[in-house]
Amino acid sequence: MPAPQTTNPRKARSLRALDIVNLLQADIGAGVGPFLAVYLMAARRWRPEMIGLALSAQGLAAVLAQTPGGALVDYLWRKRLLIAAGAIGVGAGSLATVHAHSHRAVLAAQAFTGAVGVLIGPAIAAVTLGLVGRAAFSQRIGRNESFNHAGNVIAAAVAGLIGKIFGSAAIFEFAALASLATAGAALAIDERQIDHALAREAPPNGVAAARFAGMRDLLADRRIAIFFGCAVLFHFANAAMLPLVGQRLAAESRANATLYMSACILVAQAVMAIVAPLAGRAARLGRKRVLLAGFAALPLRGVLYTFGSAPWYLISVQALDGIGAGVFGVVAVIIIADLARGTGRFNLMQGALATAVGVGASASNFLTGVVVQHAGYNAGFLALSAIAASALAALAVAMPETLPADEAALVLAIGAHDSGRVHRQ
């Protein structure tokens, strides 16, 4: 991907450091997430119910910490330090997981990892907004997500190789090293290049004079409630689809189920890396139509899963997850910035959205499991598709366009200027 375009050399260095942060934070996630169950089963000989408890400890702590973590990012100016602190905290939790000698210690390490890790995402978005400004924010968020998904692909491959050669415990040590590198890249961002008032969408009258909007003001904005409702429905429908695919793959070929599941993840992440920057550029001219395209991919994906059970077919359909999740990951942050403009609550709203969709995703797996138990896999996929279709309909009918008029005019003016310059040349 070409280097960030700016005439300010310090800002250019900061943007390159931001690229590295987005690439490396995926390595942290790979170390403490997908491989935890494998480590606890293979190296620690934990029973399945205790493994589930460890996974739940991290997930529950993350859900509980999302909203207060976002508020903390709004409140503190030094947001790059929050990225570094969150990364180092996740690395420390990874090492503690490996070296802990009791079940309680591992559960505590996982809960700590989930709680501190939630600071990283909102802080990255805040630093991005403060560095590039509103007009370039949508395109830059697309770039962030592209680097993040590319990092996911690299991390999955590297972690798998490390686990194969050195054992599953080494994956957590790899995550700890990646956390230190992430912290170093975050600290390489020049604090002086960040507009701290803009980084939390405060009114443009200086940080000292800007006030936070009250919760009553946020709840009074019906656009926020509509968008959160659509997002919860989307993630409720999305969360259980990949686990259902994994179960069907295991039923078809138990010996190769892990390999097939890895292929599903890598295919989706590769598509996301391509889709994310395209979504960011398209969102500069309108958020809603881009998000509608992402939402439309989800019900189609669920229906297509019912047409076949061959591994190659299921893996191919999984590419649609890259479209849906890739678009949502970019455009949701941009819409939150639109809705938070002038409130000073940009990062609080990011955290609240993450909490809401986390709850929806957790309920999805349980309720879908009940449907599959009584009616089979196809019924589960079709039920999720119906929920995804309701999310699409609600977004299309109830959600207004959030692109501010001044930003749209600025983007069009820049486009006309660039077009005229090319014509003259």
Transcribe 139-154 into DSSP letters. HHHHHHHHHHHHHHHH
- CA 358 to chain centroid: 11
**191-218 confidence digits (pLDDT tens):** 889 998 888 887 655 444 445 666 677 7
111 token code pair: 């809960």
Half-sphere exposure of 238 (CA within 13 A, CB side): 27
Q: How far apart are CA 179 and CA 185, in angstroms?
A: 10
How high is the pLDDT of residue 309? 82
Q: How far is CA 397 from CA 349, 393, 394, 405, in A?
A: 23, 6, 5, 21
Superfamily of domain 215-416: MFS general substrate transporter like domains (1.20.1250.20)
How high is the pLDDT of residue 2? 59
**162-200 confidence digits (pLDDT tens):** 877 887 788 888 888 989 999 999 999 998 899 988 888
The domain made up of 13-200 has a fold known as: Growth Hormone; Chain: A; (1.20.1250)
Over 60: is that where the pLDDT of 317 sits?
yes
Type of residue at 16 = R
Question: Does residue 119 sit in helix, strand or coil?
Answer: coil
Q: How far apart are CA 370 and CA 226, in angstroms?
A: 28
- Fold: same for 13-200 and 215-416: yes
On whether the CB atoms of residues 336 and 279 are closer than 8 A, the answer is no
How high is the pLDDT of residue 265? 80
Nearest one of 71, 72, 74, 56 to 352, comparing CA atoms? 71
- 422 vs 85, residue with greater confidence: 85
- 126 vs 27, residue with greater confidence: 126
The domain spans of the chain are 13-200, 215-416
Q: How far apart are CA 142 and CA 377, in angstroms?
A: 34
**233-269 confidence digits (pLDDT tens):** 999 999 888 878 877 877 776 666 667 777 888 888 8
Place of tokens 């009616």: 375
**395: CB partners within 8 A, 6+ apart:** 230, 288, 291, 292, 295
How far the first Cα of the chain sits from its last, in Å, is 25
Question: Residues of the chain with pLDDT > 70: what percent?
Answer: 85
